[in-house]
Amino acid sequence: MKILMITPWYPDKESPNSGAFIRSQAETLSKDHDVVVIAAKVNYRKFGLYTYHHETSQYGKVTEHRLTIYKSLPVYNQLNAWFIMLRYSRKVAREFKPDVIHASIGYPGAYWGYLLKRYTGAPYILQEHTRVKNNFRSYFHRQLTLAGLRKADALVAVGTRLGTELKSLLHRDINVIPNVVEVERYRYDHRPQTTVMQIGFLGGMNTPVKGLDILLQAIAGIQKDFVLHIGGTGSKEEEYKAQAEQLGIASKCKFYGFIPYNDIPQWMEQLHFFVCSSRYETFCVALVEAMASGVPVVSTCCGGPEDFVNEGNGLLVENENIAALREGIRHMMQTHQQYNPQAIAIYASDNFSRQSFLTRIEKLYHEVIERAKR
């Protein structure tokens, strides 16, 4: 089968972890299929009326096209980006002749997929990884997103709650297929040899969505010795460091900054448990990466984690509730040794491995291809 994947999120030199889970999907599919990826984004730091840069690379058996479009004039900028993106992707599609188009992210993925379907005749699915309303940055964005979602041959959400949101908005069936997590990269038989609690947090810091401010407030009220390992970077990183100072826990917080994707397995091995304090998640890859390492977790009820955090691998606490999160962390400090690392890792492997994803997505591909032939 020939699969054309189109996405605005994908790893590149500037953002090596961005959309890493989409690259994992592409690599997984390439084991048995021909896969071409087109990743397109606008570079808002460079100006050009009709200027773009493109490069082609090979990642294993996956052919990758990265298209970077320079920003232009207001209003015209969006039209310019669409024109360049479609002209380039039509050229790739004409040469590749896909059997199915796998689009990601409602904007621009949904309508982009629809237009390529009109050109190639191949059916398209849209896999949503973020809240639908995050695509509604203007009337223009909203209308194109909704039109593309309604016209998709199938819709996929990475979590049940996100699927419910899509269904209530579009009144059509939604397939729930979780992200691929490369569980084989992680080992569960290594634990920190210290009585000082080693707690992990991993997430972007450009917005307050990951809730690090909530975690810092919660953990400041815990007297027991601990080290909070904080991975990730963004525009709010200095603000969080200042908050840790103000709360008197700076000496207990270790800020790592950006952690390369390949270094995450080793980073996880130093933890007794991992915390997700997010205000909202559609999935939460970091939680599953912790589980693949055999590490129990504490998570807020923020959307995605409710699908897979259970009594065998961790605790769920009320969302945006500092006291509840603090109590959950205290409880995990006392009980983390009662969890079975191997069982946690097996659960992650059974539900989020490459094969688990492949079985589900291939079935959906065949369904939309068969319907298109009728």
pLDDT of residue 20: 92
**If 0-12 CB within 10 Å is exposed, 13-18 middle and 19+ buried, where does residue 306 land?**
middle
Q: What are phi and psi of 317, to 5 degrees?
A: -130, 165
pLDDT of residue 73: 86
**pLDDT tens by residue, 41-69:** 998 888 888 889 999 999 999 999 999 99
Sign (positive/negative) of CA torsion 11, 15, 16, 17?
A: negative
pLDDT of residue 91: 97
Mean pLDDT in residue range 30-34:
96
Question: SS3 breakdown of the chain: % helix, strand, coil, rounded to 5?
Answer: 45, 25, 30
- Which residue's structure tokens are 């269904």? 167
Mean pLDDT in residue range 362-374:
94
Q: Is the pLDDT of residue 153 over 90?
A: yes
Q: How far apart (Å, rounded) are the C-alpha atoms in residues 353 and 229?
A: 26
**pLDDT tens by residue, 279-295:** 999 999 999 999 999 99
Q: How far apart (Å, rounded) are the C-alpha atoms in residues 186 and 264?
A: 9
Question: Going along the chain, which residue ranges are E strands?
Answer: 2-7, 34-47, 52-59, 62-71, 100-104, 124-128, 154-157, 175-176, 197-202, 226-231, 253-257, 273-276, 297-300, 314-317
Report the SS3 class of residue 274.
Answer: strand
Mean pLDDT in residue range 211-219:
98
pLDDT of residue 205: 96
240: β partners = none
Quick check: 201 and 231 in contact, CB under 8 A? yes
pLDDT band at 324 (very low <50, low <70, confident <90, very high): very high
Token pair of 78 as six digits? 């969006």
Strands 226-231 and 314-317, by their bridges, are unpaired
pLDDT of residue 14: 86
Percent of the chain with pLDDT over 90: 88
> Is the bond preceding 178 in cis, omega lying within 30 degrees of 0?
no
Mean pLDDT in residue range 238-255:
98
Compare 64 and 189 and report the one with higher pLDDT.
64
Mean pLDDT in residue range 357-366:
96
Quick check: 202 and 264 in contact, CB under 8 A? yes
Strands 62-71 and 52-59, by their bridges, are antiparallel
Quick check: 8 and 39 in contact, CB under 8 A? yes
188-193-194 Cα angle (round to 5): 130
Q: Is the pLDDT of residue 72 over 90?
A: no
Q: Is the pLDDT of residue 373 over 90?
A: no
pLDDT band at 244 (very low <50, low <70, confident <90, very high): very high
pLDDT band at 75 (very low <50, low <70, confident <90, very high): confident
The CATH-assigned architecture of domain 183-351 is 3-Layer(aba) Sandwich (3.40)
For the ranges 69-83, 84-98, 124-138, 304-318, the lowest mean pLDDT is seen at: 69-83
| Summary mean pLDDT of the chain | 95
pLDDT of residue 50: 81
Domain 2-180+353-373 class, CATH top level? alpha beta
Mean pLDDT in residue range 63-84:
91
Q: How far apart (Å, rounded) are the C-alpha atoms in residues 81 and 318?
A: 41
**Among 219, 344, 339, 197, CA closest to 272:** 197
pLDDT of residue 77: 84
Convert 89-151 into a string of H (helix), E (strand) and C (coil). Answer: HHHHHHHHCCCEEEEECHHHHHHHHHHHHHHHCCCEEEEECCCHHHHCCCHHHHHHHHHHHHH
pLDDT of residue 46: 85
Domain-wise residue ranges, the chain? 2-180+353-373, 183-351
Q: Any residues with CB less than 8 A from the CB of 305 and at least 6 apart, and which? A: 276, 281, 284, 287, 297, 299, 316
Most confident of 10-14, 80-84, 361-365: 361-365
Mean pLDDT in residue range 67-80:
88
Q: Do the two domains 2-180+353-373 and 183-351 of this chain adopt the same fold?
A: yes
pLDDT band at 185 (very low <50, low <70, confident <90, very high): very high
pLDDT of residue 330: 98
pLDDT of residue 236: 97
